[in-house]
Amino acid sequence: MNKTEAKKRIEELRKKTEYYARKYYDDDKPEISDFEYDMLMVELRNLEKEYPEFISKDSLTQKVGGHVKEGFQKVTHEVPLQSLQDVFSFEEVEEFDERIRKQAKENGIEDVNYVVETKIDGLSAALEYKQGKFVRGATRGNGLIGEDVTENLKTVKTIPMELTDKIDITVRGEVFISKQDFEKMNQEREENEEELFANARNAAAGSLRQLDSKITAKRPLDIYIFNVQKIEGKTFNSHFEELEYLSKLGFNVNPVRIPCKTIKEAEQAIEKIGEDRENLTFGIDGAVIKVDDLHFREILGSTIKVPRWAVAYKYPPEKKETILKDIICQVGRTGVITPMAILEPVKVAGSTISKTTLHNEDFIKEKDLKIGDTVVIQKAGDVIPEIVEVVKNKRTGQEKDFEMPKVCPVCGAPTVREEGEAAVRCTGIECPAKLFRNLVHFVSREAMDISGLGENIIQQLLDNELIKNIADIYTLKFEDIASLKKNGKKFAQNLVDAIEESKQNDLSKLITALGIRHVGVKASKMLARKYKTMENLMQASYDELSMIDDIGPIVANSIREFFLEDQTIDLINKLKIAGVNMKSLEEENQDNRFEGKTFVLTGSLEEFTRNEASEIIEKFGGKTSGTVSKKTDYVLAGEEAGSKLTKAQNLGVTIITESEFKEMIK
């Protein structure tokens, strides 16, 4: 490679690594594996070493990859939170040892001891204590400036708010989510049709960097402390001694810390960690080798980016070949149909893999997967098994193509994949796989509003086979409900009354309760006002529906298809027989003073809730929106109105107070 080619490749690598680092550190949405990123960095580092004239301070070889997220206060680290130099072979480990021993000899130091620790796969943070009390916590950021996440870190149960010694100290640790908790989180997100976290590290990073600490508090974050950044009034000779002291202070210290007298012992420790990594409760992405002598560390010093007294050994991802025996489909609680690979069992990274998710049909097409293929499996982030590629030269011609089912494998209702979505869904409202979620939605406040019928009671009713479909809610007997709770007579009577009362709800609430895709509370009210009865709505044509304001072709198609389903017709007939109201109860309103007008509500109102104000606006023919734009006619601003008020002022939108609104609705 000549100089011109080297310069071009270096520029390409810098752009690529910057992009992937931003996706990893700032967006918490990695697009390539750690190993692929590491290999790009190795190539960049080697080229810059060979052509030093092209080294730039902007290169990621010279700085840490993260940035400070907008919305957080900046924190300048008194002691930089540096990265580590990565190595990928024992040959590089021994080269590191040679450099260290050469420096030791030059400084009259006879023995060099090391400490080997697990490199926890999480987000680095600094914790600051004054007189033994936790006062501030910050992310690493770019190593020099991080984000103040004190309130979020206070929600992490393993961070002590007060130490056993009244000392001024700043420590560094790694915030992470355990393997078990990560799997549970992703399972819940899949059931709720939320985007899955790519790996435990990004789940931890995304959780810690929430602007709302209440969200962080719901996430199962943990931390291991692995370094003293700064300490007042106390000195130590060795890093291992420091770690023991941190444990006594009450910190949750990295549990894997192995003292080693030689580099061979260090290599043996790395091998042992590699063998045991599957049994660890937390994910790791390597092992760290550190010089133990703190005085010698000061002599060795640091570069701009990394300390010279430590390196991180990165384990290569283990890959194995196996046979894709079959592809089956599972139906989630929300109706999403997920293809699952059934594999010839194979041991990867210490555990036997016999199945793995294939996500959706796009993933299958992208990988060109066929039943009977020989495939390569690896464990992503040491947790989730995944198919990496097909070994196409091992195809025999006997392999079979796979197609997503046209009908639900559980209930037989047609499946649908809407434009712009990757997921294929079951359309059946009575599908047993979806029943729990459908029931929870049906009884919710914005839908049929059946007080007392929460998720726990619904699950008990299902477990005891007291309900098998939505309409069964209206056939529940007092004694059935009372049997669910000890001394449950009062609860049973209240629930029976609430169920009976829900039969008199307006048609709009029933439309909402049916859970028609893309049809929310506002659209339900609009449809109830227009069609007056469930029968009229069921007979509405696609063309008619698509002409309604704020409905459009996609929603119209969703409504029409829903009411053509046998399961939908069956459910509505059962609800009719049970006595559930099928008509609009809203009085005909001739006053359309707000017709064609769009309102945005912001801040807190004194005499109305936002829902009440919205209903009044809609009653007079107006519309409400959640966002301010040039098409907005009025912004109704209450106390503590925020960014929407500012935007309205900038756009010149008419702003009205609550008293002015009251005048408008007289």
Active site members:
119
Return the structure tokens found at 126: 């600094």
Query: In this structure, how many other beta carbons lie within 10 angstroms of the beta carbon of residue 233?
Result: 8
DSSP per-residue string spanning 437-467:
HHHHHHHSTTTT--TT--HHHHHHHHHTTS-
Among left, alpha and beta (phi > 0; psi -120 to 50; other), residue 150 is alpha
- Strands 169-176 and 145-147, by their bridges, are unpaired
DSSP per-residue string spanning 119-169:
EESSEEEEEEEETTEEEEEEE-TTSSEEEB-HHHHTT-TTS-SB-SS---E
**Distance between CA 300 and CA 239 in Å, rounded?**
15
Contacts of 311 (CB under 8 A, 6+ apart): 84, 85, 86, 87, 92, 93, 96, 288, 289
Return the structure tokens found at 90: 């024992």
- In 168-255, which ranges are continuous DSSP H helix? 179-191, 200-208, 213-217, 239-249
**Distance between CA 215 and CA 208 in Å, rounded?**
9
**Distance between CA 327 and CA 522 in Å, rounded?**
40
Residues forming beta bridges with residue 320, ordered by sequence position:
377
Return the structure tokens found at 562: 């829903």
